[in-house]
Amino acid sequence: MNRSLTIEQKQRLYKDGYLVLKQVVPKSMVGEARRLIFQRMGKLRNSAADATQSGNLDSLKEANRLMGRSGGSSTIMNLFNETPVKPMLESALGGPVSPVHGAQLATNYPCDDDHTVNEAGFRNIDTPFGGWCGHLDGLWNGGAATPPVDRQLSREEEEKWQGETGTNNASKYHPEHNANIACFTALVAIALSDQRADGVGNLGLLRGGHHKMEAFFRWQRDQGGPLGPEGPGWPRIDDKAPNKHGLVHYPDKVKKAFKRGAIVFDTGQIWPKPTFIKVQAGDAVIVHYATPHAASRVLGVEPRFMVYFRTIAESRPEENLSVYPDALCDNWLEWKGMGEVSRG
């Protein structure tokens, strides 16, 4: 199998902001990863049953910790480190990727009328396109659980929600960088389940959105910054959302650029229509950091299994490992292997 991207693949990555790599992970490795997940899900279920009977939560807590650590297991890490996925990414970066020490196991389960409130401040069932709530990573997501839609927060709850560090451990501000957003280089998704139909929890991507985000960050910088929410043209909070605390995870100026095919609410919120990715187990997707993305609801029978690796080019300066404004304003700064297409 080719371990470098072709010119045509690089052109698609440059244009779209993502690239699907078909069957780059061996079926045997996919099977091992699925078995690990099911094994630990079973342990979690059995521990919950034991805790219900005994009232002792120790085994349940341990099973939950074990499930949470699954993304750092060799079985999961090998999906990236020991397959063509890593060298193919590095061919686009034009150099090594920094060692990756953990992955996110993104498991979405079947659901019907899901009234869970998402970070945009809407119930999932009221959110268009299968609950697709596009975002960029590295953004503060509230210092406490997402506020409800059916009541106001108390003063104590409001203060906790407004905390400087989000529940995702992201900081609200990075004043030393004149930015309010952290970033990595590329998101790498590896499918462990069949997602070739619609409504199976497909990853949704705003095709070409990375170009619009780059232009927007450059504009913010020209205005004096900071880059990201609470910077020029990007309010952090949407108080028109049902819970009055909706998080604006990418700016309206970018959303308006994708108004064709979008759904617009009477209150003004714009919901661009994403491209839902159709992949099967063993496929991988390289996604440029600046491409707005999100999963969608599972309306079918099977859970959706995806593994996410957040990768950083080894060439990134030490002082910018978490926050790199120059890379936000130049999509291909860290992608030296893309020069032949990005300069064209």
Tell me whether residue 260 is exposed, middle or buried, using C-beta atoms within 10 angstroms of its C-beta: 0 to 12, 13 to 18, 19 or more: exposed
Q: What is the pLDDT of residues 167-187, one digit of tens each?
A: 999 999 999 999 999 999 999
Dist. CA 336–CA 334, nearest whole Å? 6
Dist. CA 144–CA 75, nearest whole Å? 32
Q: What is the pLDDT of residues 218-253, one digit of tens each?
A: 999 999 999 999 999 999 999 999 999 999 999 999
Other Cβ atoms less than 10 A from the Cβ of 215: the count is 15
Looking at every residue in the chain, the average pLDDT score rounds to 93
Q: What is the largest CA-CA distance in the chain?
A: 66
pLDDT at 41: 80
β-pair partners for 191? 306
Q: Which CATH class is domain 7-25+84-342?
A: mainly beta
Residue in the block written with tokens 């990768």: 311
CB 175 within 8 A of CB 188: no
Give 46 or 116, the one with higher predicted confidence. Answer: 116
Tell me whether residue 225 is exposed, middle or buried, using C-beta atoms within 10 angstroms of its C-beta: 0 to 12, 13 to 18, 19 or more: middle
pLDDT at 217: 98
Share of the chain above pLDDT 70, in %: 93
pLDDT at 42: 77
Q: Which of 11-25, 64-78, 167-181 has the lowest mean pLDDT?
A: 64-78
Checking if the pLDDT of 64 tops 70, the result is no
Checking if the pLDDT of 197 tops 90, the result is yes
Q: What is the pLDDT of residues 207-220, one digit of tens each?
A: 999 999 999 999 99
Q: Is 68 helix (H, G, I), strand (E, B) or coil?
A: helix
DSSP conformational letter for 124: G
Report the C-alpha dihedral over residues 241, 244, 248, 251, rounded to 10 degrees: 70
Checking if the pLDDT of 21 tops 70, the result is yes
Smallest Cα–Cα separation from 223: which of 213, 234, 212? 234
DSSP conformational letter for 193: S
